[in-house]
Amino acid sequence: MINIGDYIKLEVARKSDLGFMLTDGNDEILLHYGQAKKEHEVGDKVLVFIYPDKKRRPTATEEDVFATVSKPGFVTVKEVIPGTGVFVDINAPKDILVSKDNLPFNEELWPRNGEKLFVTLKVKGDALLAKPLSRFEVQGLHKKVSYEERSHQNAFVVRISEKGLGLITNDLMYVFVPTTQLRGIYHLGQEVEVLITKALEDEYYGSLNQQKENMIDTDKEIILAFLKNNHGKMPLTAKSSAEDVFRYLKMSRKAFKRAYGGLYKDDIISFDEKETKLVIK
């Protein structure tokens, strides 16, 4: 039986109008001419990846796919469908669905188009699905790299919990970032630069906090962007509640007051009891 979702070596049984008919000795499967890397002759052994076509029939391709049922990999998000999930490109003729069941309940935390997920493929009936790896699955991968503490690494968000974020680096190392070391709201698939703060045997701890001076400048830019996008007005002041600050700007009240005070000191904003205004010079 020829199963979908992985590579298999098959023999060219014959040629048809559409492509090469491959066989394992019992079943036959089509390798479209457009999915073949070169011309094949009857009797050739061909290594192919098996995927379901639009009619869910097993079909072959010689393309190098990014993830299989036996080997996880990074894939790119191609389409986000609210209420359903996201489709990812595995470098096969058909994009693969990551179901909403394997994504955060809050759709605002789903990955955006063009971002990357680290997934493995799963077979469900005659369909092929993609599923992000769990923390333990990532930690179980065999790696041959190590990071020094205080080094910076590029990584992608693979897990979101109340205690913090789970990241995976390009080297497939797992990094946990506690909530106390986060800055802002993050979503699955988001690329970040993480500072390694602690190295353990099978995982690393990290921080996404910037230096305080850089954080203030970033917060100032967020406030100014809000003002400019809302006709120079903002329904917040230094006395606004933490809930209101987070609702409008997605930052803590402490960070808001620090940046707000700097903008007021520089005579960039003014305020009354109800709102803040951008100073026109």
pLDDT the model gives residue 215 = 58
139 domain-assigned:
no
The CA–CA distances, whole Å, from 171 to 36, 117, 207 equal: 31, 14, 18
108 domain-assigned:
yes
138 domain-assigned:
no
pLDDT the model gives residue 47 = 96
Q: Does 121 share its domain with 151? A: no
260 domain-assigned:
yes
Query: In this structure, are strands 276-278 and 233-234 parallel, antiparallel, or unpaired?
Result: antiparallel
pLDDT the model gives residue 152 = 86
Q: Does 78 share its domain with 105? A: yes
Q: Does 225 share its domain with 270? A: yes
137 domain-assigned:
no
What CATH number does the domain containing 172 carry? 2.40.50.140
Helix-, strand-, coil-residue percentages of the chain, each rounded to 5 = 20, 40, 40
pLDDT digits (tens, 9 = 90+) for 153-208: 899 999 998 889 999 998 899 999 998 888 778 999 999 989 888 887 767 999 88
> Is 0.75 surpassed by the pTM of this model?
no
pLDDT the model gives residue 42 = 94
Domain enclosing residue 78, as ranges: 73-132
Residues lower than pLDDT 70 in the chain: 142, 202, 210-216, 281
pLDDT the model gives residue 183 = 75
Q: Does 219 share its domain with 263? A: yes
pLDDT the model gives residue 65 = 96
CA distance 197 to 181: 10
The separation between the first and the last C-alpha atoms of the chain, rounded to the nearest angstrom, is 75
Backbone conformation region of residue 105, classed left if phi is above 0, alpha if psi is from -120 to 50, else beta: alpha
68 domain-assigned:
no
Q: In the numeric block, which tokens belong to residue 136? A: 């333990």
What CATH number does the domain containing 253 carry? 1.10.10.10
Out of 88, 111, 132, pick the residue that ends a domain: 132
Out of 179, 207, 235, pick the residue that ends a domain: 207
CA distance 155 to 147: 13
Q: Does 148 share its domain with 126? A: no
159 domain-assigned:
yes
pLDDT the model gives residue 114 = 94
Total domain count, the chain: 4
Out of 61, 85, 102, pick the residue that ends a domain: 61
pLDDT the model gives residue 135 = 83
HEC secondary structure over 227-268: HHHCCCEECCCCCCCHHHHHHHHCCCHHHHHHHHHHHHHCCC
pLDDT the model gives residue 151 = 86
- Of 210, 214, 216, residue with least CA distance to 256: 216
Q: Does 109 share its domain with 82? A: yes
pLDDT the model gives residue 214 = 54
